[in-house]
Amino acid sequence: MALVMRLAVVVCLVAALAIAANPLATPAASQPIVTAINVRGNAHVPTDKIAVVIHSQAGRPLDTKQLAADQAAIVNLGYFSDVRTDIRATPGGVAVTFIVIENPVVSKILFDGNTHVTTEILTALMDTTAGSVLNTNTLRDDVAKINSYYDKLGYTGTRHVANIHIDKEGTLALDVKEGVTITKIDVTGNTVVRTPAILAVMKIKPGTVFSQQAFGDDLLAIGNLYKDLGLQAVVSGDPDEKNPGVLNVAICEARVGAVEIQGNSKTKDYVIRRLLRMKPGELVTDSRVRRDYEAINNTQFFKSVDLGTKPFADKCGYITLVWTVVEQRTGTASVGVSYGGGGQYGQGLSGSISYSESNINGTGNGGSISAQRGSHVSDVSLSFTVPYIKKFKPSSVQVQLFNNVVINQPYPVYKEPGNNPFFTLSPVGGSPTTPLVATPAPGTFSGPCVAGSTPCNNEFANYSSRQAGIALSLGHPVADYTRLSYGVSATRLFQQFTAQGFSQDLLDLRGAVLQPTSTTSGGVAQQSGASNLRSVNAGLIRDSRDDVVNPRSGSTGSVAEEVSIKAFGSNYRFSKTDLDATRFWPVRRHSTLGVHLNFGFSSSYDPSTGAGLPYNDLFSLSDQQLRGTKFVYYGDRQILGQVELRLPITQDRKVGVVFFADTGDAPYVTPIVGATPAPTPTPPSGPHAPFQPAALPQVTYVRAPFRLKTDFGIGIRLTTPLLPQQVRIDLATGKQGSHISFGFGQAF
């Protein structure tokens, strides 16, 4: 029995020695009982913190697999660089001891290589702190947070914490590589903007560290560079996969791949296409898009014009432009009745009928016909316009035929002062700006007609005239927004004043506002009769308004010249020049400030007779220009200035308010009457005595100076589907009092 006990002890000792020599080995026989579990070597990490992860327990058989798991769990705590297991025999079993080797205590943390991110920020990102035992798990998380922080800043393409080491004094050093250093930037696809200009707007340069965020800002800056130049482009880029130090910047400049027209049922496609500046293959620019939109919209063929885009195949930057239009009515028919006042000098009732079409059969050609008939007027006019002589050649032609007749329109006459029996059409002491259309009320006195500013009661003059002719005008663009026009006109003129209530020989026409076309004989004006007016004209017109109906920006400018000489077969010799300019500025979000200036002048004025421009060519200003006047001013010169502040009331700009001011004048000639001649001797009496009218006073003519008429006021603008044009109602006040004027379209 004693021998058996001795063998058992030996076996146990051998087994214990075998376990001590190889703790991971699995005993072949039944395992001894663990009598104790100890931890040794931890100076700063509490034993309790280690014991939490140890699952081997005293009082249970020794499990080498569990010991290995406990050893790994202690290592995974991150505080130790090594963990060993010591198993020793004890009465009743074995004692297990885990021997740990602690990591150094961190005395300080150093970073090397960080230039874009400060040490303070990197230290704040870490949970590892000075004075604590280095924990490899915490340090690993700290490295991940530093890498992530750099990635969020755009410094991608590399591991940012390149190396970690800690010396025996506890100094923890981290080597930082913030990003890839850029060695080269390759720019491709740019044909308009040169590469140096593109590189100049980029913050990333060769030699700098790559940042995705900074690179994104650079791509945006390149796009804005194109935008500032009025161009469109898609800009992209990435580091080269094979060479991260090389940046590739790809630019796809927007170009027209194709043009589609949608929504037009009447208007032919070519009518729209010939207006477009952007053709397939050309660059898409903001100015060209705006110009094409304005060209289509300003035809007034469409209610709305919209531009959309869609991809064109797979070509870089190529797009399909889709113009979508909504057509509107382009033909207008009207029938009207007007009343020009009654009484002896009134115009009476007149009726009119007209029809116009600006887009005949969808070809873009226009035509109009109108007729008016009244007590004293009979007008007929016909016009036809072809904006493109050939389908895609922007040369235009316009033909006008007209026949305007005035029949026996009564005008008041005035007794001339002095010892003579003559009557004149101008009141004594009147101004040359007194309009011929003014109709002083007759019958203001009774008895014989006496010299003065009051018209005669029973004497008057009937005025008859005719203007019949043809005008041909050609046009051709010479620059963007600018056209040159030139043409000829031939007009047959006829005017006549017929004395009523007194002899024709006693009617002195020299004071008429509309100057006579014939000479005088013996100081007495003869009947005017007929004459020919043949002239050539030329003009240069520039129109850059964004909208011809309601412009918010842009301008117009024109120079027009008309010349008539006897070599053309004309009875007149003169030149007439007209200069006109407008300018529009947007005010705030919806309002518009507009300014209009006009100046006209003529030459070949004859001061001895007052002859100059023919009556149908005189400059004129009415309440459509000087909105505070009730009259029409005729003259051989003209000056006009207008300013308007246009405020839309509704969002669609169909109702608006206008504040305005006008000033201008159209002066003509004024007669200067000399001394009254001596009394005429009494002629011989008897039925056969010859008639000897008295001599007229000596009359000379001078050009009247400009006397500006100024007014200001407020107006309303209305656009309704019932009328083809905007309705204009203006209330103006000035020296002549207040006046309400009506019209269609803007004042300028």
Distances from the Cα of 487 to the Cα of 157, 217, 389, 542, angstroms? 72, 58, 15, 18
Distances from the Cα of 104 to the Cα of 470, 544, 652, angstroms? 110, 80, 78
Pick among 3.90.1200.10, 3.40.50.1000, 3.40.50.1820, 3.10.20.310: CATH of 184-253: 3.10.20.310
Distances from the Cα of 44 to the Cα of 50, 131, 677, 690, angstroms? 11, 11, 139, 152
184-253 and 108-176 share a CATH fold: yes
> What pLDDT does residue 384 have?
96
Average pLDDT along the chain, 748 residues, taken 10 residues at a time? 40 44 50 92 92 92 93 94 93 93 93 88 92 93 90 76 88 86 91 93 90 89 92 90 87 94 95 92 90 92 94 89 94 81 69 94 95 92 93 88 92 79 70 34 52 83 91 92 94 89 81 42 45 93 90 95 91 92 94 97 63 80 91 89 96 92 88 57 50 57 84 94 84 92 90
> What pLDDT does residue 150 have?
83
Pick among 3.40.50.720, 3.10.20.310, 3.20.20.140, 2.102.10.10: CATH of 255-327: 3.10.20.310
- Indicate the fold that domain 2-102 takes in CATH: Ubiquitin-like (UB roll) (3.10.20)
Task: Report the C-alpha gap between 151 and 178 in whole angstroms.
Answer: 9
Task: Report the C-alpha gap between 165 and 123 in whole angstroms.
Answer: 16
Task: Report the C-alpha gap between 741 and 735 in whole angstroms.
Answer: 16
Torsion sign over Cα 137, 139, 143, 144 = positive
- Indicate the fold that domain 108-176 takes in CATH: Ubiquitin-like (UB roll) (3.10.20)
For residues 673-683, one letter each, b for 16 or more C-beta atoms within 10 angstroms of the residue's C-beta and e for the rest, the string is beebeeeeeee
> What pLDDT does residue 475 have?
94
Please state which CATH class domain 387-439+451-676+695-744 belongs to. Answer: mainly beta
Residues 733, 711 contacting (CB under 8 angstroms): yes
Residues 172, 150 contacting (CB under 8 angstroms): no
Residue-range domain boundaries for the chain: 2-102, 108-176, 184-253, 255-327, 387-439+451-676+695-744
> What pLDDT does residue 516 have?
37
Distances from the Cα of 282 to the Cα of 195, 317, 350, 499, angstroms? 20, 11, 56, 71
Task: Give the DSSP per-residue string, 23-64.
Answer: TTSPPSSPPPBEEEEEEES-SSS-HHHHHTT----TTSB--H
